[in-house]
Amino acid sequence: MRIDADMTDAIRLVLKKYWDYDGFLPLQEEAMNCVLTGRDSIVVLPTGGGKSLCFQAPAMVKPGLTLVVSPLLSLMKDQVDTLLDNGIPAARIDSSVSRDEKADVYRKLRARTLKLLYVSPERLLREGFLDFLKTAGVCAVAID
């Protein structure tokens, strides 16, 4: 399945608006095309090769929520902080997030105002969490 020119233009606009990038690093465009067309993919790039952007940028183009599963709490925090600094509606739910912060994240999920939600693998095992996600408009899942 080929991606259309409108989607490519939309991704380029998102890259410029939120990250101030003028183009793609090697293999990013192909990976983003897979995400945008709903195809499964595995992206293997060196550190600093722009793997996270391969699901973050499409999340801003696709309708719905992108769920990101990451085992590293510090990485989740850093990525969400950077996304928020860039004006991207993102959040995380992990063991370090307070009860009030979690309640706020769930409120935003119900309102469908988030584009990216970062969770630890353990969160997926919490009773009721997967059922809740079924109502949250998840359009893509990334394992980072």
Domains of the chain as residue ranges with CATH: 5-143 (3.40.50.300)
Contact (Cβ atoms closer than 8 angstroms) between residue 57 and residue 132: no
What is the residue type of 57? A
CA distance 123 to 95: 9
Long-range CB contacts for residues 95-104, cutoff 8 Å, separation at least 24: 95/120, 95/122
The pLDDT assigned to 4 comes to: 63
The pLDDT assigned to 1 comes to: 47
DSSP secondary structure code for residue 92 in this structure:
E
The pLDDT assigned to 26 comes to: 79
Number of helical H runs and strand E runs in the chain: 6, 4
Q: What is the mean pLDDT of each run of 10 residues along the chain (144 residues)?
A: 70 95 87 90 87 95 96 94 98 95 96 97 92 93 93
